[in-house]
């Protein structure tokens, strides 16, 4: 189920990994419609990390869907991923030899703000915002 408004797109996804690619395509379409292609690379990567985390780590009963919301607000793009799990993500600093665990480090590096909030009903929403100002702010280096 997809809902498109002028400034928001809401979609629901199963937990299958292929849905991450489908959600990225929906975000790309919304960004093009809104004239925001300049933030596409960062936005798509942020969405990928948040949605992958929800699909992998949210412990919910089968049949529960994950919801994405993309919204254009005054000067910001907001990306939200909702799931029915109360388990909150935690940013880690994985060791050099570890293959995973960098998702929220990437989100923090790419987004201007991010966080987790309760939602009505079960679960949480993990969100990130990217500023839409014409001048890009310097991004922190991931190896610092």
pLDDT number for residue 20: 93
Answer whether residue 90 is part of any domain: yes
Q: Mean pLDDT in each 10-residue stretch from start to end of the chain (144 residues)?
A: 75 87 96 95 96 79 83 94 87 66 86 94 92 64 56
Answer whether residue 99 is part of any domain: yes
Answer whether residue 58 is part of any domain: yes
Report the distance separating Cα 111 and Cα 79, nearest Å: 10
Answer whether residue 139 is part of any domain: no
Answer whether residue 18 is part of any domain: yes
User: What is the tally of structural domains in the chain?
Assistant: 1
Report the distance separating Cα 60 and Cα 57, nearest Å: 9
φ/ψ (deg, to 5) at 67: -110, 140
CATH number at residue 119: 3.30.565.10
Positive or negative, the CA dihedral 40, 69, 23, 56 is: positive
Query: What's the domain range around 40?
Result: 2-131
Answer whether residue 100 is part of any domain: yes
Rg (CA), the chain: 15
């Amino acid at each position: 189920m997809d809902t498109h408004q002028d400034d928001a797109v809401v979609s629901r996804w199963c937990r299958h990994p292929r849905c991450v690619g489908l959600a990225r395509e929906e975000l790309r379409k919304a960004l093009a419609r809104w004239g925001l292609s300049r933030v596409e690379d960062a936005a798509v990567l942020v969405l990928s990390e948040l949605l992958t985390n929800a699909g992998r780590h949210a412990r919910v009963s089968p049949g529960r869907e994950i919801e994405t919301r993309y919204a254009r607000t005054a000067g910001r793009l907001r990306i939200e991923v909702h799931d029915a799990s109360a388990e909150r993500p935690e940013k880690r600093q994985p060791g050099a030899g570890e293959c995973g665990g960098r998702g929220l480090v990437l989100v923090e590096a790419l987004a201007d703000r991010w966080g987790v909030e309760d939602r009505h009903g079960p679960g949480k929403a993990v969100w990130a915002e990217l500023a839409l100002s014409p001048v890009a702010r310097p991004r922190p280096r991931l190896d610092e």
